[in-house]
Amino acid sequence: MTCHACHEPVGGPVCVGCGALQAPPVDPDPYAILGLSRRYHLAPTEVEARYLKVARTIHPDKFVSRPSRDKQAALQWTAAVHEARRTLKDPVARARYLATGSARQDERGPSLDGAFLQTMFDWREAEEEAPGSMAARAAALQGELEAELDQIFSRWEAGEGALDAVPDRLARLKYVTGLLRPAGE
């Protein structure tokens, strides 16, 4: 990418050579926006520190006396930086992004096997009949699914595996965490 003002190569929101604020990418990668390596295992403090560093660089107040192009770019960068932070701080959104390229869940989602769906239906009925009765089973399954995701990403980060199973595990996790939420939420 080259600077729109001085045409020098740039690697971030602000050109090092002339100080011009660049337009943010059309389809921003949250890892690139915050300057973090692509990995699942990120500490929330690491995400927050990178967010604060980038946010200070592109904050719209720094560009109030600049041309409207820079003001608009600052607002767009701010939105991109906030979205990157939101995605990378949430383990589910981060997992989904790494596996699919999008932090948002596909409306259809992966097809889950009938046995799992029947179990969830049975558990939901049991929970409706006796509130709290399925909490321990659901929490145990939630822990198993989270451990599976951790193992999948650990292997992937070590260069030993793929992320094909992640959307399925996230869809299952959504069902299970739904059982753990109080009725009406």
Domain 1-89 has CATH 1.10.287.110: yes
For the cut 60, the answer to whether the pLDDT of residue 183 exceeds it is: no
- Are the beta carbons of 180 and 135 closer than 8 angstroms? yes
Q: Residue 81: name the closest of 127, 12, 17, 144 by CA.
A: 12
- The structure's pTM equals 0.85
Query: Which pLDDT tens digit goes with each residue over 139-179?
Result: 999 999 999 999 999 999 999 999 999 999 999 999 899 88
- Give me the pLDDT at residue 182, please: 64
Q: Residue 176: name the closest of 132, 138, 145 by CA.
A: 138
CA trace torsion 174, 177, 183, 185 (10° rounding):
-70
Within 8 A by CB and 6+ apart from 48, the residues are: 85, 89
Query: Which pLDDT tens digit goes with each residue over 31-83?
Result: 999 999 999 999 999 999 999 999 999 999 988 898 888 889 999 999 999 99
**Rounded to an integer, what distance in angstroms lies between the CA atom of residue 80 and that of residue 85?**
9
Arithmetic mean of pLDDT, 25-36: 92
For the cut 70, the answer to whether the pLDDT of residue 15 exceeds it is: yes
User: What are the φ/ψ torsions at residue 14 (nearest 5 degrees)?
Assistant: -120, 130
